[in-house]
Structure 1
Amino acid sequence: MPTEQALTAEQRGALGEYRARWAAVRRSTAPANRGAAERAVRLAYQSAGLEPPARIVWCDSPFALAELAGRMSGDDGRNVRLRLVDRLRRRIASLVARRLHRKVLATIESDVNPADGLVSAAAEVVVRSVPEQNPSMFGQLRRTGLSLSGLLEAIVAPRNFTTCAAGPHDLSWLGAYDYLREVLGLRGETESLRGLMQLAMSAGWLQPHERTCWLAERPNLLCGDARDRLHQASGPALRYPDGWSIWAWRGVEVPRWIIEHKDRITLAAIDEQIDVQVRRCMIEIMTPERYVALGGATPIAEDETGILWRRNWLAADAWAAVEVVNATPEPDGTRRHFFLQVPANLRTAREAVAWTYGMRAEAYAHLVHRT
């Protein structure tokens, strides 16, 4: 039976410290500590029962890493992420489970390693943008060798960047084990994770193979909005030392010019944009008020709550906003007009305003009447 059934007040107090420490690790934009990272790679390989790699290759971005690793040969050996990270994690988790009640462990993991939307978003855009690493079965066999095990690997476990590489989001679970090691004293159980912990604290992405391990620098810029979506209004939201960058507006990846040359956003440019999400970002950057003033949308309904504007492109592709007037006058006696983007299937201004409050039109009308 596990010996640790509950955390003490002091141990609970330390959870916040480790949560902050590992959030800083995941979101770090400091240059990689290359010496510490290379020592960590060798220690991590040894802990996983692997010979240290003969070569450690540094890249200035995960994009560059994917390009280089995509040209690997048989000399680099098979990918060992499964052994280096995933199997080792399961093995250590099994050891820890003998010492710690599962509810206590669940509390530690959720408190120290909560969901990190910004880091997950950065990882998603990296995976979506890097060169494809999934070779044909013949290509995999050339790399792994014409053996039965190589054939089985090519059939059962096709390789791509997601399965071959690991980023900060893939190693964030180490924070809970750092806490277990330092606060609860489970040093023996977590000893094999020291290399991975140091690697997570010292570098960005990695792609480990038997004889070559590719490492990438961290981003030197990572920006998000209050909801942890990738976002930057005046430049790239994600940038790496080699200049590889991603521009994003409230979580949507957009072309660079939309952010850095906003004056080029016109009604014609908006209409020509095929991607629905990017088009809506363009309207938001232009501002719905200006979009309506330029004739981009048509009024379709009006009542005492405001005016509902809509622009239709296709049957299932439309944009809408409700124009409302601030109840409180400005110092000069005028009242400001606000445009609130709403779902395009709404039919009345009252319904649209109610939607912005999370209410149905009938309930909102009753509330306004009572007020």
Structure 2
Amino acid sequence: MRASSPIETLSADQTAMLGRYRARWTAIRRSTEAADRDAAEEGVRLAYRAVGLEPPAHLIWCDGPVTLLREARRPSRADGPHVGSFIVGQLRRQTLAQIRSRIGRGLHAWIERQVNPVDPLVASAVDAVMQETTTESVSLLDQFRRSEPVSLTLALRALFSWREASAIGQQDLTWLGPCEYARNVLGLRDETAALSGLLQVAANAGWLQPHRQTCWLAERPALLRGDGQDRLHDAAGPALRYPDGWSVWAWKGVEVPTWIIMQPERITLAAIDEETNVQRRRCMIEIMTPRRYIALGGAARIAEDETGVLWRRIWPGTDAWAAVEVVNATPEVDGTHRHFFLQVPATMRTAREAVAWTYGLRPSAYAGLVART
């Protein structure tokens, strides 16, 4: 029997459906609805059967991934080995190989980007959850609560060791989106038939940790909030909270201690100087506001010209912060002119260079623009 020619182009209707699937899987990644436990459990059974395994004898629900981590941290012999590499890894490899045999490589890659783009908000949330990953001694979150810096090396080690033999979250299954699109819109039902269980789990639960005889599942977050740039953020409370009570406070994608959000009056020049984490230090200055930080003497005047004033603060080591102060040319109702403080790279040498940077221009190009206007 002659093989079908690979699909190389989409019709107008098929192209239009990409947006619908993108929206659907964005909603799945960000869902805060309570899990449909019956549907999720049926999906787990289907996923096990799809790789030739008997469904687990025990399905245990937890109210969040942190509770799940604690409950399933040391599975017993009766729970059996971790089987995520089969019901997720194996199914993914086999299905994608079949789909790619039917869709041109370039088109398939484009479909994946359209339906399952990088989602900064969810990535931030996942990173936050990963910080609760425990080792034999001290958890990353414990280090954070003691205001100790968490190194990238340690974070990556914990991340990868955790992912190899632990829970799989709703954000880890969004690769299913392009597969569902191929199934329902392009008609590749046989090629994607084995994914029906995982599709059901992704749409109805938050996390799962599958073992041979026991599968732990967890609820979705009860709260997930971000800013206009899709970063985990809330200026008045936790940006991420699970039903088990575990919460994360974040400012523009950076996890911060609770007090920075809930008690901003505690942010002082001394507190900022004592903070060793560069990103959190930036957050503290933003919450205090650059205007007040400079007014309190936090930064020194470096340069001034007709465009504004450049301010800078240098800490021992390699860290520095800078902002350019500019004046709004349009007067307020009372005749005064508002001053704005724009954070800029600390490498800026003049106010003109800093202001030009905020427009994405070189100083010479910005000078020409100002001269023409």
TM-score (structure 2 length as normaliser):
0.89
SS at match of 1:364: helix
Count of residues in Structure 1 that have an aligned counterpart in Structure 2: 348
Please, which of 36, 39, 45 is the counterpart of residue 36 of structure 1?
A: 39
Q: Deviations over 1:100-140 (max 9, x none)?
A: 22233223222211221111221122112222389xxxxxx
The residue correspondences of 1:112-131 to structure 2 (distance < 5 A) are 112-131=115-134
Q: Deviations over 1:176-233 (max 9, x none)?
A: 1111221222211111100000000010111111111111110011111111111111
1:366 alignment partner in structure 2: 368
Aligned match of 1:49: 52
- Whole-Å Cα distance in 1 between the matches of residues 248 and 104 of structure 2? 43
Once the two structures are TM-superposed, the CA of residue 159 in structure 1 deviates from its matched residue by 7.9
Which 4+ runs in 1 deviate beyond 6 A? none
Q: What residue number does 1:350 align with?
A: 352
Q: Which of 59, 66, 79 is the equivalent residue of 1:76?
A: 79
* Residues 62 and 130, structure 1, Cα contact 8 Å, conserved in 2: no
Q: How does 1:35-184 map to 2 (within 5 A)?
A: 35-132=38-135, 160-164=161-165, 165-184=167-186
Give the 5 Å matches for 1:237-248.
237-248=239-250
Letter in 1 for 2:13: E
Out of 175-184 and 219-228, give the one that drifted further.
175-184
Letter in 2 for 1:98: S
Match of 1:297 in 2: 299
1:300 is paired with a residue of what secondary structure? strand
Q: Distance in 2 between matches of 1:363 and 1:95?
A: 53
Aligned-pair Cα RMSD in Å: 1.8
Q: Which amino acid aligns with 2:119?
A: D
Cα distance in 1 between the residues matched to 2:5 and 2:174: 25
- In structure 2, distance between residues paired with 1:43 and 1:257: 45
1:25 maps to 28
The one-letter amino acid paired with 1:66 is: L
Q: Distance in 1 between matches of 2:199 and 2:218?
A: 16
Partner Cα distance (1:323, 1:208) in 2: 55
How far residue 366 of structure 1 moved from its aligned partner, in angstroms, is 2.9
Q: 1:63 to 1:43 in 2, by over 3 A?
A: same
With 277-286 and 117-126 compared, the bigger mean Cα shift is at 117-126
For 1:301-350, what per-residue CA distance to the aligned partner results, in whole angstroms no more than 9, with x for missing partners?
Answer: 11111111112221411211111100111121110000001111212111
Match of 1:146 in 2: none
**Which residue of structure 1 lines up, in the alignment, with residue 153 of structure 2?**
none
Once residues 71 and 129 of structure 2 are traced to their aligned partners in structure 1, the CA distance between those partners, rounded to angstroms, is 15
SS in 2 for 1:71: coil
Report how far residue 368 of structure 1 moved: 2.1
- The CA distance in 2 between the partners of 1:78 and 1:345, in whole Å, is 53
Change beyond 3 A, Cα 1:4–1:300: closer
Cα distance per residue 1:279-310 (max 9 Å; x no partner): 11011001001111112111121111111111
Distance (Å, rounded) in 2 between the aligned partners of 1:219 and 1:111:
25
Identity of aligned residues (%): 61
> Larger deviation: 311-320 or 234-243?
311-320
- For 1:192, the equivalent position in structure 2 comes to 194
CA offset at residue 44 of structure 1?
0.5
Correspondence for 2:229 among 227, 230, 239: 227
> Displacement, 1:52?
0.9
> Which of 211, 214, 233 is equivalent to 2:213?
211
How many angstroms does 1:53 deviate by? 0.9
The separation in 2 between residues aligned to 1:13 and 1:369, in whole angstroms, is 46
Query: Contact between 1:33 and 1:202, CA under 8 Å: does it hold in 2?
Result: yes
Unaligned runs of 5+ in 1: 135-157
Amino acid at match of 1:314: P
| 1:1-36 per-position Cα deviation (integer Å, ceiling 9, x unaligned) | 534332222211211111111111111000111111
Partners of 1:349 and 1:7 lie apart in 2 by 51
Q: How does 1:219-368 map to 2 (within 5 A)?
A: 219-368=221-370
TM-score (norm 1): 0.90
3-state SS in 2 of match to 1:160:
helix
Equivalent AA in structure 1 for residue 25 of structure 2: W
**d(CA) in 1 for partners of 2:293, 2:110:** 48
